[in-house]
Structures are given as structure tokens and as C-alpha cells.
Amino acid sequence: MGALRQVFATVGAKSAIPFRVVFADGTSYENQVNDDPAFVVAFKTRAAERATVLFGHVGFLEAYFDREIELEGDLRLAIRAGMEGGFDRRPGPLVRARNRWHELRYGNRTVEQAKANARYHYGLGTAFYRFWLDQPYMMYTCAYWKEGTRTLEQAQQNKLEHVCRKLRLAPGERVVDIGCGWGGFLFYAHERYGVTGVGVNTTPEQVAAMREEIARRGLQGQIEAVEADFRQVPGTYDKVCSIGVLEHAGRDQLEEVVRAHADCLKPGGIGVLHFIGHVGRYETEYWIRAHIFPGGWIPALSETIEAMERAGLEVLDVENLRRHYALTLDAWAERFDAHWAQIHALDPQKFDERFRRKWRVYLYSCAEMFRSPHGYTHLFQIVYSKGNTTTYPMSRAFLYRGETSP
């Protein structure tokens, strides 16, 4: 009990957010006794207390998912307090061992395992994601909240336009979107810029949904959805777009996936690589890998650029959109909560209380992670060319010409 109380005393000393913890024996701890708590944590079992001491925040979260811990009040502030107090930092040896085992069991070394990992998350069904993503493009990646943006829909279309401008798209060009989701980027790029292209995705459910949308829009022969691994992109293209794929390459597959981006790009062609990356080299958060994105791995910006250099790609521009992802996740979390009753009704066994707890923690904690002034996880957009370019604009001015506030 002393060790557990010390855990929360450490958090309480570093965070200004008032909270109370009630232990399994009925005793409690408050960091600010004169203020009403923003949240209350209640341990229901001794096992949950032991798990928190042994496994830190991972043990705490897993006990919360199992309903051995209850949390009343503001989940967002609870997560923020934990981060401010360092509860999520420096995983202990038991968590590091579990992370290594996860890599051995679920790493993306084979195409089959990579597909199974992707389906675990992205194969939950279009109906599920439709409740909380933007319409009509359903972009499940960081949006772009330029000045004047008020809605998720505007922010995602800002992002699509931003990427299209970076790619310098022109009518008649052939574009590949690696990890295309439901095809939103290609639909937007075709509508606004007159390109044709191929979307590559390893998740059968998303490929099927994209093909249905292609047929609904009458775009057969102009847009195609291909089910393939990100290391097996068919053909070569004028432009390459990759939005939110590199995080799923896997710890040891970064080189292969970057090389595939290079191989499918024509000499002199332009690509955009949009991905979550670390500043420095760190282990990827274990509980996210175990419960949300099996096999996922967040690469360092430095090792990504080194892999691009080895693949013969010239880095033209790097932009950091970290703070934009915090706002995007805020919007997703709010919509997820607002539509939980409808999500639960889709399949009460699949979308149960355990699922709800996991996904709320995932959405809110990632928002706080990207918001944190002390975090090392960022969102990068890298513009690159195949070989040294002589034609790309000399400044970023072209990105902003003719822009109006939404």
C-alpha cells in the first residue's frame, strides 16, 4: 500500500489538477484537500493495486479496462494529471519485457501478420468509423487546423488541400495513395485536380468499402482500390501520397516500406510522407500496441530520413503538425462520446464497455500526448523527390496563394 500511495503522491505533487484516490481498503489520498476533485479513482481489488505497482500506468489502465478500477469525473484531466506527474514515463522492466514479447508475437515481418494487425483495428467496420470521422472523406489521420477553421470537416479538407498543393498535382497525373483508408484523398484529388490513381490498402474491409464508393461515384477506370501490403505497391506513378502508414510498418520494416515508396515513384516524381514520428529513438507505448494497434511502431524522424536517403529520395521539406493532431483527436473523442449509444447498438458484444474504455483512453490520451509541451511524439509531413529535383518551387509561398479562410 505504501508503494501505491507514493505513486499517487508523486503525481499529486507535480500536477495542479485536484484529485482523490480511494484504495481497496477504504483509505484515500487527496493531493489538494481544500478543492473539489476533478476526478476520483477507486480501486476495487487488491489485484488492481498490485498491477499498478508492478506495471505502472500499463497495469493501472488494464485494471481500468477490466473494471477493477473505476474513474469518476473528467477522464481528460485524469490523463493530463498522470502525464504531468510522470506516471506514463520510463516503463519498468516488466513492461519492457512485455513489449519485446509483443514484437516477437505480433511484429509485421510477414505480410500475413501485417494484414491481421491492420484488420484488428481498421477492420472494425465502416459504420463504426462513420459515427465519429469527418464526412464525406472519412480521413482517419491528423487534420490541418489553419486559422479560421471551426469544424472537423473543414480541418480535414484543409489537410487534403495542403497535401495536394505540396504534391503539385496536375490533371492527368497518375497518383498512388499508400494506405488509402476509405479512399478520401483520391476522391478529393480527382474532384479538385483531375488526377487518376490507385489506393493501396492491406485491410479487406476498407478496400471493399472503397470499391463500393468508386462504383457509387461512377469512377471505375479512374480510381482503383487494390488490396496489397505496403511493401508490394503495384506499378509506378507520377506522385506518391502516404498519409498515416509509416506507423504501421513495424519496428524492423521501416527500410522496406520506405524503399517501396521510392520504387513506385517515377524518376523526378514528388511524394508526401505524413506520419507520426518520435524526436529521438524511443520504444513505442506498449499498451497502445497491446490493445489498439498491434504491431505498430513509431519511428524516429531521424531514422526515417536516413532510410529515405538510402532509398535515393531527396528531402525537400519537413513540416511538424503536432499541435494539429491534438485538436483532431479532441474532435474524434467528442464525437465518439456523443455517438456511443449508436456505436454500442451496432454490435453490443463487440462494442461493449471494455471496448469503450479502451478507445476513450486511446483517443483522449493521444490528444494529451500531442498537446504536452514535454512530449517527444510529433506528426510530420515530409515532401520528397526521387533524385535531386530542379523543378520544385524554391519557397513555400505556392502553398498559400489564393487561400481563403473557411
**What cell does 116 get?**
491481421
- At residue 221, the 3 state secondary structure works out as coil
DSSP string, 238-259: EEEEEES-GGGS-TT-HHHHHH
Task: Return the beta strands (E) in 204-359 as ranges.
Answer: 223-227, 237-243, 265-278, 313-320
DSSP string, 145-190: --TT--SHHHHHHHHHHHHHHHHT--TT-EEEEET-TTSHHHHHHH
Which residue in the block uniquely carries the three cell numbers 478507445? 359
Annotated active-site residue in 142, 241, 264, 366: 366
Cα 75 from chain centroid (whole Å): 19
Going 279 to 282 to 84 to 19, the CA torsion angle's sign is: positive
Element (H, E) at 40: strand 39-43
Longest dimension (CA), the chain: 70
DSSP code at position 385: E
DSSP code at position 260: H
Q: How many CB atoms lie within 10 A of CB 180?
A: 27
Cβ(138)–Cβ(129) below 8 Å: yes
**What cell does 81 get?**
494529471
Q: How far apart are alpha carbons 306 and 326 in whole angstroms?
A: 27
- At residue 31, the 3 state secondary structure works out as coil
**What cell does 76 get?**
481528460
142 is catalytic: no
Side chain identity, residue 223: I
Cβ(195)–Cβ(171) below 8 Å: yes
| Side-chain half-sphere exposure of 170, counting CA atoms within 13 A | 5
Side chain identity, residue 13: A
Terminal CA-to-CA distance of the chain, rounded, Å? 54
- Catalytic residue annotation: 366
